[in-house]
Amino acid sequence: MPLATTASIVGTAPGGVCAFNIITLEHAEAVAAAAERVGTPVILQVSENAVRFRLGRLAPLAAAATAIAAAATVPVALHLDHVTDDALMYQAADAGFSSVMYDASLDPYEMNVARTRAAAEWAHENGLWLEAELGEVGGKDGAHAPGVRTDPGEAAAFVSATGVDALAVAVGSSHAMTARVARLDHALIAALRAALPVPLVLHGSSGVPDDELRRAVEAGMKKINIGTALNVAFTEAISRSIAQNPSGADPRPRLTAARDGMIDATAHLLRTVAQRSQV
């Protein structure tokens, strides 16, 4: 099946859409396999951090993700995540990505608007869908900041000033949580949904329990970004494999266990999020 686009998946899904961060080939294979198992579309995300891990090169992981997405029997799109470097964004279209999340959320409001507006203009000239962030979702530097919130009035002004296609908002989640204990502000999600003409994006969703994710989608959250949950499944499976066979030198049984663990975790989250939204 040809590569899907983020715009088409987000625009047509009746419920929430999962976007999973991939770091290795096994992550991408696991996400595609899980989406096929559940029968839902899915978005594969590569973050600027993941590019840094891949020795600063986008092309190798993007090429693998493109091939895996194209071979899938369900729609799969590619999204470039948390981009702060314009030079990386400019590589997106040629590398197979249909969307970019441009992250100027650490900048003061006016600077965030100016940089995001320029990014959105470039993205639209190049046929890409652009997501931005307002009200910094914590944890990107390793520290959780679950108290940060996005103001609906400011968010509406931001969307109108920048022309973005989707907005990541701070509603109680935080990046890189390995325990699923986050509590979301569902009234704020509903207020943001009512105030904004574009889909809402939840970042740091690994730390959000299933029932909170379901309620968030019901309240109007659309794109659900998940990364750490896959890494938890990966690392648990590898650790079990090493404990069971400490001297095994072949990485394949370990990576097979890691991929299988990620498939199960991903399939569970896809089922949880793909319910029909009430709004």
**Does the footprint of ligand G3H cover residue 266 (CB under 6 A)?**
no
Instruction: Give, in order, the Cα–Cα distances in Å from 191 to each of 25, 150, 185, 188, 237.
Output: 39, 10, 10, 5, 40
Q: Which stretch binds Zn ion (CB under 5 A): 56-64, 153-161, 195-203, 248-256?
A: 195-203
Residue 82 makes contact with ligand G3H by CB under 6 A:
yes
For residue 277, state whether it binds ligand G3H (rule: CB under 6 A). Answer: no
| Tally of helices (H runs) and strands (E runs) in the chain | 11, 8
Our answer to whether residue 185 is catalytic in this structure is no
Beta bridge partners of 93: none
Q: Which two tokens stand for residue 123?
A: 């993205």
Q: Which of residues 165-184 bind ligand G3H (CB under 6 A)?
A: 175-177
**Around 25, how many Cα atoms within 13 Å sit in the side-chain half-sphere?**
8
Instruction: State how far the Cα of 240 lies from the Cα of 112, in Å rounded to an integer.
Output: 44
Q: Which of 5, 6, 21, 266 binds ligand G3H (CB under 6 A)?
A: 21
Closest CA to 10 of 217, 267, 230, 219: 217
Question: Of ligand G3H, Zn ion, none, which one does residue 206 interact with (CB within 5 to 8 Å by kind)?
Answer: ligand G3H
Place of tokens 């995001």: 116
Binding-site member from 75, 138, 227, 261 for ligand G3H (CB under 6 A): 227
**Dihedral, CA atoms, 214, 218, 222, 224, nearest 10 degrees?**
-10
Bridge-based pairing of strands 129-134 and 99-102 is parallel
Residue 117 or residue 203: which is nearer to Zn ion going by CB? 203
- Binder of residue 176, out of ligand G3H, Zn ion, none (CB less than 5 to 8 A by kind): ligand G3H
Contacting residue, 40, 66, 105, 205, with ligand G3H by CB under 6 A: 205
The answer to whether 42 and 6 are in contact (CB under 8 A) is: no
Binding mask 110-149 for ligand G3H (x = CB under 6 A): ----------------------------------------
Q: In the complex, what is the shortest distance from the CB of residue 104 to ligand G3H, in angstroms, rounded to a whole number?
A: 15
- Complex with Zn ion: residue 74 or 137, whichever CB lies closer: 137
Looking at the Cβ atoms of 106 and 242, the one nearer to ligand G3H is 106
Nearest approach, Cβ of 47 to Zn ion (angstroms)?
7
Q: Which of 203, 222, 254, 259 binds Zn ion (CB under 5 A)?
A: 203
The answer to whether 79 touches 6, Cβ cutoff 8 Å, is yes
Give residue 115's region: left, alpha or beta (phi > 0; psi -120 to 50): alpha
What distance in Å separates the CA atoms of residue 116 and residue 193, rounded to the nearest whole number? Answer: 20
Among the listed ranges 187-195, 211-219, 223-231, 251-259, the one in contact with ligand G3H (CB under 6 A) is 223-231
- Dihedral angle sign, alpha carbons of residues 101, 105, 108, 113: positive
Instruction: Find the helix or strand (DSSP H, E) in which 129 lies.
Output: strand 129-134
204 is a contact residue toward ligand G3H (CB under 6 A): yes
> Between 203 and 259, whose beta carbon lies closer to Zn ion?
203
Binding site for Zn ion (CB under 5 A): 203
- Give me the active site residues, please: 81
Binding site for ligand G3H (CB under 6 A): 21, 81-82, 175-177, 203-207, 225-229
